Structures are given as C-alpha cells and as structure tokens.
Chains A and B, each alone.
Chain A
Amino acid sequence: MNLVFYSGGDEKENQDLDRAFLELLAKKNPVVTFIPSSSYLSEQEFKSFVRHYSKFKITRFIHFPIDVPFDNIIFNEVMRSDAIHLAGGNTFYFLNSLRKTKLLPQLKAFAQKGGLLTGLSAGAIMMTENIEMAGYPEFDRDENVVNIKNLAALNLVDFLFFPHFRNSSRYDVVFKKYTRSCNKIIYACPDGAGIVVRGNEIRFVGKCYAFSGGHKFIIN
C-alpha cells in the first residue's frame, strides 16, 4: 500500500512530504483526483491544489466532490486515477458523505491495489481505523455536525493519526491518558510533518511524536 499522511501547513513546510509523494507516484503524466471533504467552496480548494501540484509538472486532475450526486463516468475515471487525495475539513461530515456514497470500500480497494492515497488532516485521519481523533481532545476537535455514531473509517493502517499537533503538555496529558486505556499508537504530527507508508515500510517526515501505553516518544 502507498499512503501519504499530511498534517497541514503551507507549501514550504510540506516540501519533504511532497517529494515523498512524487517518489511514490513515479509515473509520467499521472492523473490525480482531489476529493474535498465538502463541496462548499471546494472549487477554490481544488484551484489551490492544482496550482500547487502543477509546479511538479502534474497536469491532469479531477475534482470529485462527493456530497453532491455524481455519475458513473466520472467515478470510474476517479478509480482509474494514479493518486487520490482526500482533503481536509470537517472529518465527521467527510466520513458521513463517504459512507452515504459507499465510497469507503472502493477507496480501500483502490489503495490495496496499489493506487496512491494521500490525505491531509481530516483526509489523513480517514485512512486510519476510525476517526476518533477528530473528536479528540475536547479543546481541539471537529464538531460532529452530522451526528454520526459509527466512526469506522478506511482502516488502512494500524495506528491513529493526529494532525496539527502542538507540542504542549495540554496535549501530552490527554494523549497519554487515551493510550493508557487502548493499545493503539497515536502518531501526532505538527504542520509540515507527516507519515509515508510504502508497502510495509513506514517513514516519518519532519518532527513527529508517538503516544503509546501512556507514554510519549519523539520521532526524528
């Protein structure tokens, strides 16, 4: 499986992750699909996305909002893309739309067949087992605007991902507490940092942190 987890931040901060993305893509003239978390003003996000990746000579993009109906023609083209990017936004709303459109198994199959799946913030959380991290901690969470109960996501990796991490004791306390009661690892990444999964290999880009069994570890 080929996955890139972006936390957030600007172009400059994400240079290393972008490089990793391009290495994984390793195709001449690839097609990249942009899936926004919500169609609301997503055209603007898409524009920024295109402007950014055009700098790497990528010229073929598909804008694929999923909270508005779509036809099979565009859907089939999306599934034939070389890479699919899951954008940031409200994670609960995003998951709800992915579930309603029955896209979760399709995206999972896409990744399992070797398609490159990348996610930014909410999109990155979506690639983990569930989106609990979006509602956690209390002081820095997405609103569950759609009131969904089933938080199961793509489950492509065996860790949880926390984006926009700020290295402070406030976060430390809650994540240590969280991992004390579950046997999952949380990888917490500040903006500009992230994770690259290539097959069975996992690589951390930038300064990342891990929480496990009630302890905090610094990676890189």
Chain B
Amino acid sequence: MNQIKKCPTDEVGKRSYTNFAHLNGEHPFKSLVPGGRVEYKARYRKGGKVAFFNFDLAKEMGLIAKSHPHTLTSDLEKEILETFSLTIINEYDVMNKVKFPEEDIFPNTFMATRYLQLQHPDKMGRTSGDGRTIWNGTVRHNGTTWDVSSCGTGGTKLSPACNINKKFYQTGDPSISYGCGLSEVAEGLETLFFSEVLGKNGFKTERVLAILEFDKGIGINVRANPNLIRPSHFFGHLKQGNLETLKQVSDYYISRQSENKAWEQTSFKSDKEKYFYMANQVARALAETAAKFEDEYIFCWLDWDGDNILMDGGIIDYGSIRQFGLFHAEYRYDDVQRFSTTILEQRQKARYMVQCFVQIADFLSTKKKRSLSHFKNHPIMQSFDKHFVDCKNRNLLQKIGFKKTHVEHLLKNHISKVTKFRKVFSYFERAKSKRGAYKVPDGINRDALFCMRDILRELPQLYLARNASLSCQEFTEIIKSSYARKSDLKLTNLRKKQINRFQSQYFSLIATLEKDLDLSKGQQLLELTMRASVINKYDRVTGDSITYIVQKVQKLRPKLACHELFELSQQFTVYQNLNPDQKVVAHQAPERHKNIMQNFHSIVRECREGL
C-alpha cells in the first residue's frame, strides 16, 4: 500500500495534509548511521480508529494548517490512519513465509534503532533497541525538524523477549506481554496526560501526536520530539568500542541540534572541539534535569544505560515515570528482576552518563578508548556538579515564589543565604516516617513526612496577615502530611531549632531584597503569596492520579470523540499549569466536560501526597 498515492486529494497542490507524506519511513538516521538501526518492511493495519489527535502539536509541526478546526474531518482521519496504522513484517513473518496482500505493503522500510538497555542479557547493546517501535520519519516546520515514531507497531528483533528467549515472536503473540510488539491505548493516554502537563511546566518531554485504537484496547501511540535520540543510542556503540558507528551517531545528533538551532554554537574548528562541546551540552542538560527531577519529585528511573531519557534531558517512555506528591526519596520500583534507582540516586546516574559522554568525546577525538574512571575528575564533571547545585538553588528560589530578577539577584549576590535556606528546607523535605520501608503495590517506599508545597504556599500570607512568625506547633500543623504519625511530629529540640531556622532564613532572603532593591517586606510577601499559590497549588498531579484519571477516561471513552479527548487533555493541562507568569484562561467547556473535570480534580486532590 502506498499511503501517498492512496490519498484522494493527492494531486499536486490539492492535497490538504501534504506534510504527512514525509512520515513514510524515510529518516536521515537510516543512511547516516547504518550500524545503528534495523529496517523492516511494513503493512497497513486494518481496523484502526483515531482515538486521539493532538491538534495543537500537529499545528506546531506543520502537519495541519494553523486555522484547522479542532475536529477530526474524514480526510484528516484517513490521512492519520494511512500514515500511522501499520505493523512491521518481522523476522517471524519472513521465516514463516506469512503472506500479506501486496497492496497493503508500504513502499519504504521503517527503522527500529539500536540502543543500550540494561534488561538485555548482552549488556553491550548488540541486541537491544526499539522492541516495539518504528520511526515514521521527520517533518520540518518553522525551522525545526521533528522526529516522529510509533510504539506498538510490532515486535522487532531488538526486544528483550527475543533475546532472552532466543526466538522470534509473531506480533501479538499472547504468550508474551511486552515482547509481543503491541502497545495499549492506556499507555498512550498516560503519556498524553502526563507529558502535556509536564511540558507546560517546563519539562522537556516527548509528546503524543496521535493514538490509534484497535480491538481489545490495543493501540499505536505516535510520539514526536525535535530529537528523539537518547544517550543509550551512543552507549551501545561505546561499550562495543565501535568507533565508526559511534562517530556516525554523534555527527548525526550534532547536525540535528545545529539544524534545529538547539545549541548556541553551530560551527567548530575541530572534531575535538565539536565532541567536547556535545559532552558539555549533555552535562548542562542532565545536571538541570537531575536537579529538576529531584526538586519536582520526578521519578524517571535514570540508569547507566541512558534509556528513559533524551539527550537534552527530555522525558521519554512514561511507563516508569512518576511524580510524587512529597519527597518519597526511598521509593523503588520493583521490576521483578531488580529494584529501580531512587529519586536521590538519579543524580549519580546522570553524572555517570555525563562521564560516558566525556569518554565518548575523548574516544572520538583520540581514537583511543580510555577507561571511564579516567574521566572522573574531568572539568566537565566538575561543571556538571556545579551546575547541578546552581539549578537546585535556582529551583528552590523559584518554588518560594521569587520573580526571575530577584532569583538572579539572590543567586549572584547572596548565595550563602540561599544555600543555608536550602539546607534547612532539605531537613524537612527529607524527613522520613518512623514506620520505615514497606511494600507498596509496585515497589517499596518509606514515607516522607512533610508537604513543602503547603508551607511555601501558606507562609507568606500568614506573615502578611499577622506580621509575626509561626509557633513551632503552628508550623508543624501546616507542614505535616497525612503520612505523619504523632510520633513523627514530636517537637524535639532539633526540630524546634530547625523550624526557627527555616523561618528566620526565609525572612532573611526577603530582608535582603528589601535592603538591596528597596522592595518593602509587605510588597514582597504579597507577591510571594500570589505566586506561591500557583506554584505550590494544593492539588498537583502525581503518578497515581494520572493512572486513575486514565482509568476514568478509558471508561468514558466509548462516548468521547477524538476532539473531546483533545479538549479534555487541554483543560487538564490548563488546570495543572503551575507557571505564575503565564496568563491562564479557562476553556469554555461544555457541561459534560465540567463534570468530568470535577472528577479529575477530585482524583488529583485525593492522590496529591502519594506516588
């Protein structure tokens, strides 16, 4: 089947959705990094429906016109299905000579990329990569090239199941789950709701372009990002010492970053300069991301394989992503064979990845692979450590509610005051329940005791109203979470000291700005009250809440049209937008949506302190 020819309005100049034609399996990575991918023929998959289409993202990518209504016209639906509804013809099909109608077979091949994955026995990246994903291609619009890939398009030979069991599987084989090559609509919905919220709140992330639905909840989830390359795309070739492919991946990645103007520097005097610039960029991006993950309680299971994250620190694969309501720093996901990292260990994993990139830069420049430990104290590693701390400081000041200019002033001129406050803030944030670690449905956890968002939201307005500090009892009453038991909240001398320190150092930051910038205390507290009420709003989304919301959406979905699901995701994103500088306009929603949204709010509220 040829998805370009088949379109009824395909005559030159008449086709409404011409840019979809670029998503035909052709991708520059295929020719530039031949050792980094496997190619598959594909066939049209019948019986699909468009469950969701991201009209806003499609406009940003130039796939539909800016003026396109948020409605799934029959032409658009046809275009989406003819572009994305496909299944690869995999090794099992070829070996078993499975016949498919000639007219259903796409003219181009689609690639699955190779990358390192820790769950593969090989541990070298020779057998791992996209196990159920293919890359549809690229589209370029407004100076940005976008990668588009689809998950659930059939089992490739790079899936863990193939390699652990040493056999090829037919796509959809019910004897295996993850390795069968299929994906579920629910996975796409989780990614959709989570990524749209996190994206709006300043996280770099993959985004969902479309979700196709087939029988029994099976789906194809189409994702997009300006660059879908992950550190793991480099690490396999690094482990294997495959200089040629490693250089190809690096050059390909750098050229895309330049093309998209994602980096300030786009021309380099030497290869050495180019590759070390890349390592530096990765260090900055991962330091920023690791700090943000820690401060926003994002659990992403960063690990040594560099999977689960994009090169710029963007989130990919929401399967294991969670946002905790509190700093549950000892939560570990139980993945049957192993436990995951914790939130706090993510920094070390990010650091390790950066170290690998320094090793890569050195390897590519000198053509000699030196041991990783050689780069332990490389200046780039020091820059990672420094940038991580800088980001932590900046994140905290922003969370308090300070404006950007005030944040910069404090960071530049009063770093010791900021550091002191961060120290006492961490004391409360990291306080743990005396109950100890215990099993939760998908892992283990030890509960955090305090809700820092609550104290940051209430403190400025209480100061403003009464012009006096809080007593230790009052402070505890505000900050305690539902996990805290009486014994956890005992006002020991140390706790009392820390409460007083917290308040005096909070005030000291305000007094500093009062003195330096001539801003009255009252004026600042009022500004902080308004900004902190948005940043630290009572009901912030958590991983659990997304799971329950998706369950709710699944129940409603037989009656939810594609455009309604889009509207709901947009309304939910507006509600979870925690940017105090952004003017938020509530959507005029139909009554039915209002009820659904009320339901979502209750779920978020209910789960706000959980995992």
Contacts and interface: CB of A to CB of B under 8 A. Distances in A.
Interface of A: 31, 39-41, 43-44, 46-47, 50, 54, 59-63, 65, 68-69, 71-74, 77, 80-81, 143, 145
B575 to A, nearest CB: 6
Given A39-B538, A68-B538, A145-B598, A60 B464 contact: yes
Contacts of B574: 41
Given A47-B530, A63-B529, A68 B539 contact: yes
A-B CB proximity, top 8 nearest? A68-B538, A43-B534, A43-B533, A73-B474, A31-B465, A77-B465, A59-B522, A62-B461
Interface string B513-551: 000000000110010011001100111000000000000
Contact of B523 (A59, A65, A68): A59
B256 interface: no
A43 B595 contact: no
Interface string B468-482: 001000100110000
B68 to A, nearest CB: 27
A46 B534 CA distance: 10
Contacts of B539: 39, 68
Interface residues of B, number: 33
A62 B462 CA distance: 8
B595 A145 contact: yes
A74 B533 contact: no
A50 to B, nearest CB: 6
Nearest to A77: B465
Nearest to B463: A60
A40 to B, nearest CB: 6
Contacts, number: 78
15 contacts: A31-B464, A31-B465, A40-B575, A40-B586, A40-B601, A41-B574, A43-B530, A43-B534, A44-B534, A60-B465, A61-B461, A63-B530, A73-B474, A74-B478, A81-B465
A60 B525 CA distance: 9
Nearest to A51: B530
B537 A43 contact: yes
A61 B594 contact: no
| Chain B interface, >50% SS class | helix
Given A31-B465, A50-B530, A74-B458, A41 B598 contact: no
B533 A77 contact: no
Interface string B234-271: 00000000000000000000000000000000000000
Contacts of A60: 464-465, 522, 526
B462 A73 contact: yes
A30 to B, nearest CB: 10
Interface in B437-476: 458, 461-462, 464-466, 470, 474
A50 B580 CA distance: 14
A129 B336 CA distance: 61
A59 B522 CA distance: 7
Contacts of A61: 461, 464, 526, 529
Contacts of B462: 73-74, 77
Contacts of A63: 461, 529-530, 533
A74 B478 CA distance: 9
A29 to B, nearest CB: 9
A218 to B, nearest CB: 34
Contact of B458 (A41, A73, A145): A73
Interface hub of A43, A47, A54 (most chain B Cβ within 10 A): A43
Contact of B478 (A44, A62, A73): A73
A41 B465 contact: no
Contacts of A46: 530, 533
A80 B584 CA distance: 31
Given A40-B586, A71-B478, 20 more contacts: A31-B464, A40-B575, A43-B530, A43-B537, A59-B522, A59-B523, A60-B464, A61-B461, A62-B461, A63-B530, A68-B605, A69-B538, A71-B458, A71-B477, A73-B470, A73-B474, A80-B465, A145-B594, A145-B595, A145-B598
Interface string B486-524: 000000000000000000000000000000000000110
B591 interface: yes
Given A41-B574, A62-B465, A81-B465, A50 B526 contact: yes
Nearest to A63: B533
B599 to A, nearest CB: 11
Contacts of A143: 591, 594
Nearest to A93: B598
Interface string B75-94: 00000000000000000000
B605 A72 contact: no
A44 B458 contact: no
B568 to A, nearest CB: 14
Nearest to B586: A41
Contacts of B605: 68
Contact of A72 (B477, B529, B580, B595): B477
Nearest to B574: A41
A61 B527 CA distance: 10
Contacts of A69: 538
Nearest to B534: A43
A61 B529 CA distance: 8
Contacts of A31: 464-465
